[in-house]
Structure 1
Amino acid sequence: MSTGNTTFRWSAVTFDCPDPAELARFYGAATGLPVRYASDGFVLLGRDDAAGLGFNRVADHRPPSWPDESGAKQAHLDLGVDDLDAAQARLVALGAVLPEFQPDPERWRVLLDPAGHPFCVSVLA
């Protein structure tokens, strides 16, 4: 998807969880997707040129109480970009907000959509 001078592509759906490696093992076995990236706090499953599944460590993670809709966010959208600064500028111009806390701003940026939902832009995918 090309928007202005910045190209966006769907990169991953990322799930918050207490143990990314454990959840990645489950989904990797279920889907046959290999690990593309892994750190202590994040694992990405997927294949080149295709959207993947990410698993993000959240220390106080509480699983959703399905079908109760009052629970906290459990997943967020990740968009792959070629240039983080250009993507951030374009998204802020469209109405996104850049929160102060950024866990790894050289590799990805967390933004809030106009309704307050967090999402990420990353050069990982």
Structure 2
Amino acid sequence: MIGRLAGIVIDCPEPRALAEFYQELLGAKRVEDSAEWVTLSLAGGLPSFSLQRTDRYQAPDWNSGLPPQQMHLDVLVDNLDTAEAQVLSLGGTLLDGSDKPIGFRVYADPVGHPFCLVTSEGLT
């Protein structure tokens, strides 16, 4: 082993605004807060989750793949319908082409980063 994952960092235009979405989605606490960088602490000893400001962020286009998605998060939930309603109320978007299969659905956060809500059925 070379190392251990210490944190996840996502580029975005306004870290403070986007942090609110992820705080609710992940049940995280804000532990560092500036206009350039926000760090969220996740429960259970998970790696930190940070948002870094950039003026050059361009959201990936889910349908065309231009620009392509570089990574995405899988967020484990108990019930997709309940979690979907909560994500949509926070400003998330169900992405076109996500036909709501059993086990996972694909969304975008308020600035366009794709992520999936998954259930235990979707992990197998």
TM-score range, shorter-chain basis?
A: 0.3 to 0.5
Bigger relative contact order, structure 1 or 2 (CA pairs below 8 A, ≥6 apart): 1
TM-score, normalising length: structure 2: 0.47
TM-score, normalising length: structure 1: 0.47
